[in-house]
Structure 1
Amino acid sequence: MERILVVGVTGAGKSTLARALSGRLGLPYHEMDALYYVGPRWATNADLAADVARLTDGRCWIIDSLGYPEVRDLLWDRADTVIWLDYPRRHVMPRVLRRSLRRTVTREVVFGGNRETWAGWLRRDHPAWWAWSQHGPRAREIERRLHDPRFAPLRTLRFRRPRDTTAWLTGL
């Protein structure tokens, strides 16, 4: 386990687990959203593919994302382990709602110096809407990739309940 991809829907706890793994294993952690959103008004990284290629060229890394489309195959090709937080909506939605509410109320700065706003809650790309609408499609995409012969050598850990993830992490 040296090149780890932590996947799951928005709000599953990918970043939290990836940070914890980084601390336990001493591997560098790269937050995909921080690589993707690089400036005000949610400006995106035009050099994302090159940046991710450079990071994943290294011997060891942890990245917390299924991957944006332009780097998804690259991440899956270079990973040696996929950890799938395959939690049901009833676990994910309260998490993402609490996080977004906290970020909105406190005006917490997130990726690229941006903030979640009250107006943002009405947009289809808001984390709460995204987590709800993409829950099924994301799970199907991950399942498809895990059965794709190209990715057969990947070690896969699939957790369906947060307590199972916690128990596994504690046992590392």
Structure 2
Amino acid sequence: MEYQYKEVRRELAARADTVIWLDHPFATVMTRLVRRTVRRRAGRVELWNGNQESSLWSVFTDPEHILRWGWKSYGRNRARVRALVGQVVVVRLSGQGQVERWLTGPLAAVGEERAR
């Protein structure tokens, strides 16, 4: 689930018993966001309903540009997930190495069983 959308955040938290938090370093998040945005813009990739990434130059003029949003929301999103500690089980995976170990660890077999 995406926990960033204000409209559904309360309902999602109320129904969740566990949250897997991908707490990557800021540099990793921004590098991935920039690469993905540039790739989508250069390839004129359709995102949804015919929408495309806005001009890369608009990062300087559009306060809602995805790159500016990523920069501004990183800290806020971390604080939101931290606030869940004590309400639900929060599994914090900090960095891609921890994500890979989680995905190939003991719970990997559980996912395989559910897929059958």
TM-score (norm 1): 0.56
Per-residue deviation, 1:99: 0.2
Which of 46, 64, 70 pairs up with 1:125?
64
Query: Cα RMSD over matched residues?
Result: 1.6
Partner residue in 2 for 1:140: 79
d(CA) in 2 for partners of 1:121, 1:108: 18
Q: How many residues align?
A: 104
* Unaligned segments of structure 2, at least 5 residues: 109-116
Partner residue in 2 for 1:156: 90
d(CA) in 2 for partners of 1:120, 1:73: 32
Cα 1:103–1:140, aligned 2, differ >3 Å: closer, same or farther? same
Q: Which has the higher contact order (CA 8 A, sep 6+)?
A: 2
Structure number with higher strand proportion: 1
Partner residue in 2 for 1:66: 3
TM-score (norm 2): 0.80
Secondary structure in 2 matching 1:111: coil
Aligned AA (1:91)? T
Structure 1 residue runs of 4 or more that deviate by more than 6 Å after TM superposition: none
Contact 1:67–1:75 (8 Å) recurs in 2: no
Cα 1:134–1:67, aligned 2, differ >3 Å: closer, same or farther? closer
Secondary structure in 2 matching 1:71: helix
Report whether the alignment pairs 1:111 with 2:48. Answer: yes
Aligned AA (2:91)? L
Per-residue deviation, 1:67: 3.7
| Bigger Rg, structure 1 or 2 | 2
Partner residue in 2 for 1:97: 34
Using the aligned pairs only, state the percent identity: 34
d(CA) in 2 for partners of 1:73, 1:109: 30
